[in-house]
Amino acid sequence: MMTPTGLKRYQKTSVQTADKRQIILMLYEGAIKNLKLSMRDSNGALGPIALEKIGRTLEIINVLSAALDFNKGGEIAKNLDSLYAYMRDTLNEVLIKNAPEKIVDIINILSILLDGWKQITLPQKYNHPITQEKQSAQQLASLS
């Protein structure tokens, strides 16, 4: 069994050795996990754990937003920035109005983004058309 200290060291090493795409996956997964935990703590009202988890999610969204490269990312980066702003605004509204029901919308958006990043980062695990075309082209080339 791993101790809390051992787990923290493992997590730190995982982040330090991951590439940028893997880190983005970890951030999306962490944000989703935090929001799900915040919902579990909020039976109609935000408790202290929910407030902490929403705060952590806001920090993650800020990191994701700050990591955008508008020169390389172009329109996609602009759209992601708009989504991140919407999620920040919505989570701030959740905090101000004590309205945890809006958290589900943010989880849905983050889940869609996570799935997209998984397809980019881990294409071999998905039955993605681009991957299929590439594999077909490689198979044809090997026959020649």
Which CATH number among 3.50.50.60, 3.40.50.1820, 1.20.120.340, 1.20.120.1200 corresponds to the domain 20-143?
1.20.120.340
Q: What is the pLDDT of residue 140?
A: 46
The predicted-structure confidence for 97-117, as pLDDT tens digits, reads as follows 988 889 999 999 999 999 999
Residue 81 phi/psi, 5-degree rounding, is: -60, -40
Two structure tokens written together for 131? 């991957």
Ranges under pLDDT 70 in the chain: 1-18, 41-42, 123-144
pLDDT reported for residue 18: 67
pLDDT of residue 10: 40
Does the predicted model carry a pTM greater than 0.75? Answer: no
Neighbouring CB atoms inside 10 A of 127's CB total: 9
Cα–Cα distance for residue pair 33/8, rounded to 1 Å: 17
- For residue 24, what are the CA distances in angstroms to 2, 87, 117? 25, 16, 8
- Domain residue ranges in the chain: 20-143
